[in-house]
């Protein structure tokens, strides 16, 4: 089933009395193990084969030198506790939930589950960054069958000197693993390289940097990116609030996240230039000046959990004075990244799609609104202008707004029902336009079995039966 989110209006014919709004993740739980402080970018959560959730996180403490990789476990993805893995009296571990002790200069860049790995001993990949005395970094890869026991993959590096704040996702369109990274120590913009075998990597390509619409002096510190129902969503970490001074930027500034998106996993676009996830919101107590998000999971009901590490201190002091770091867990409604919301709540709002080749079944809407109805149109050519077969919409009899049973409420999976008994499934093979009308509400997504087409693609399909590639 394909899904249309509303990061832009590229898939819309009409947009009336609506404005684009970020969803609001709700801080639901916090976690701290009582012995360490997770001030750095960390928090990688995995659903295990037994149904439990395991969170790996990098943290520092006042009672031990360097950093350590720890594990916490949860049965619902929300409430975590330190995982008892080792007996400190018998094993070479200082704490029962300690997985790995890192040397000075070592930091975790990302931990990734490779669901397409043939060798299950390498199911999980840990991307390490190792600082040395030459102002450069080495980027080795560690592998594990279980997230607990790790070994270095000899002779392989994942970056060309990239520091932490990497992320990895599988690109279904290109059938390759994509690493989002910074190109070198201190260089603050995001790019990517790709690999199919974790032995050979493509050349680094920039994909996201600050522009003139950003807050002055801000920088992109990295981006957590993931595949989401056929598209790719990124959370760029924005380093901002910097002083105007002729020095390296280190001892001040805050970090929170915005949203970015991509339809192919390579070409990325920025969304609204405001925080999507922040520890500085007025309802956040205490306030966290650094917030890094590097984990996402869906619960059994479809809601999303976002996992972020945070510090009450600004950039610089947070890394040298560990003690305020916590893991923050946010809940976000399904598809709740961005919506089209009523601007004037007393007037009807309208959102109409571009043409869709309908493959069967009913459309599904994620929305909360009053008096929501859907009218269904088919398109057909009525005019040839300079070789362009211009299509116009024609309302399907019995599937107008007055024929649709109005919906009022909050649903992540509402399908319109028509008094006439007609169904969208009956229009399989047609090119359709769906027009949603509602009062005082917002729509988050439209899902169904369809192929999006632009004008000439639709005309070619209708005339010759050719599906777009």
The pLDDT score that the predictor gives to residue 132 is: 79
Instruction: Quote the domain boundaries for residue 76.
Output: 24-332
The pLDDT score that the predictor gives to residue 105 is: 87
- Residue 464 makes CB contacts below 8 A (sequence gap 6+) with none
In the predicted model, what is the mean pLDDT of residues 265-280?
A: 97
Q: Residue 228 corresponds to which tokens in the numbers above?
A: 């989401």
Residue with tokens 């807050």: 215
Task: Answer yes or no: are the C-beta atoms of 70 and 36 closer than 8 Å.
Answer: yes
Task: Answer yes or no: are the C-beta atoms of 1 and 270 closer than 8 Å.
Answer: no
Q: Is residue 469 part of a domain?
A: no
In the predicted model, what is the mean pLDDT of residues 174-201?
A: 96
Q: Is residue 420 part of a domain?
A: yes
Cα separation, 306 vs 304, in Å, equals 6
Buried b (16+ CB within 10 A) or exposed e, 86-108: beeeeeebebebbbbbbeeebbb
| Residue 81 reports pLDDT greater than 90 | yes
The pLDDT score that the predictor gives to residue 166 is: 96
pLDDT tier, 161 (very low <50, low <70, confident <90, very high otherwise) = confident
The pLDDT score that the predictor gives to residue 187 is: 94
How many distinct structural domains can be found in the chain?
Answer: 2
445 versus 284: which is more confidently predicted? 445
Whichever domain contains 391, its CATH number is 2.60.120
Cα separation, 365 vs 445, in Å, equals 6
Whichever domain contains 45, its CATH number is 2.115.10.20
The pLDDT score that the predictor gives to residue 383 is: 75
Q: Is residue 81 part of a domain?
A: yes
Task: Answer yes or no: are the C-beta atoms of 57 and 39 closer than 8 Å.
Answer: no
Whether 36 and 173 map to the same domain: the answer is yes
The pLDDT score that the predictor gives to residue 386 is: 78
Whether 411 and 359 map to the same domain: the answer is yes
Q: Mind listing the pLDDT tens digit for each residue in 439-448? A: 999 999 999 9
Q: Mind listing the pLDDT tens digit for each residue in 19-35? A: 999 999 999 999 999 99
DSSP per-residue codes, 296-311: EEE-TTS-EEEEEEEE
Whether 89 and 201 map to the same domain: the answer is yes
pLDDT tier, 95 (very low <50, low <70, confident <90, very high otherwise) = very high
- Domain boundary (332, 349, 371) is at 332
Whether 161 and 243 map to the same domain: the answer is yes
């Amino acid at each position: 089933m394909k899904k249309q989110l509303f990061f832009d209006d590229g898939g819309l014919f009409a947009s009336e009395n609506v404005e684009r709004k970020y969803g609001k993740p709700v801080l639901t739980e916090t976690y701290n193990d009582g012995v360490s402080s997770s001030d750095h970018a960390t928090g990688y959560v995995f659903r295990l084969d037994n149904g439990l959730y395991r969170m790996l996180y990098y943290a520092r403490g006042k009672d031990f030198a360097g950093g350590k990789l720890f594990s916490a476990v949860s049965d619902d993805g929300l409430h975590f506790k330190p995982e008892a893995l080792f007996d400190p009296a018998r094993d070479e571990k200082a704490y029962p939930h300690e997985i790995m002790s890192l040397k000075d200069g070592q930091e975790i860049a990302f931990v990734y589950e490779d669901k397409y790995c043939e060798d299950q001993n390498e199911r999980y990949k840990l991307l390490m960054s190792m600082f040395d005395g030459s102002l450069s970094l080495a980027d080795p890869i560690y592998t594990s069958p279980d997230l607990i026991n790790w070994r270095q993959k000899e002779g392989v590096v994942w970056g060309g000197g990239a520091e932490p704040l990497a992320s990895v996702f599988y690109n279904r369109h290109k059938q390759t693993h994509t690493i989002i990274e910074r190109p070198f120590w201190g260089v603050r913009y995001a790019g990517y390289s790709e690999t199919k075998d974790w032995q050979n990597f493509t050349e680094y390509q920039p994909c996201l940097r600050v522009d003139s619409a950003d807050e002055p002096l801000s920088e992109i510190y990295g981006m957590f990116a993931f595949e989401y129902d056929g598209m790719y969503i990124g959370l760029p970490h924005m380093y901002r609030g910097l002083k105007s001074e002729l020095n390296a930027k280190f001892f001040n500034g805050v970090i929170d996240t915005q949203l970015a998106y991509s339809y192919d996993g390579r070409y990325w676009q920025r969304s609204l230039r405001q925080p999507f996830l922040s520890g500085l919101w007025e309802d956040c107590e205490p306030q966290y000046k650094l917030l890094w998000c590097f984990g996402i999971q869906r619960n059994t009901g479809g809601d999303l959990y976002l996992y972020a590490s945070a510090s009450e201190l600004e950039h610089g002091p947070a890394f040298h004075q560990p003690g305020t770091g916590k893991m923050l867990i946010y809940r976000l409604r399904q598809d709740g990244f961005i919506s089209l919301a009523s601007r004037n709540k007393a007037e009807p709002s309208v959102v109409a799609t571009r043409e869709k080749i309908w493959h069967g079944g009913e459309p599904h809407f994620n929305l909360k609104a009053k008096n929501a109805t859907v009218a269904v149109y088919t398109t057909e050519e009525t005019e040839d202008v300079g070789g362009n077969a211009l299509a116009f919409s024609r309302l399907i009899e019995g599937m107008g707004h007055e024929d649709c049973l109005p919906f009022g409420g909050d649903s992540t999976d509402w399908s319109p029902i028509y008094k006439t008994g007609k169904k969208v499934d009956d229009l399989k093979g047609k090119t359709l336009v769906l027009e949603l009308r509602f009062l005082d509400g917002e729509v988050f997504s439209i899902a169904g079995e369809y192929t999006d087409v632009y004008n000439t693609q639709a005309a070619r399909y209708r005339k010759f039966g050719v599906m777009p590639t």
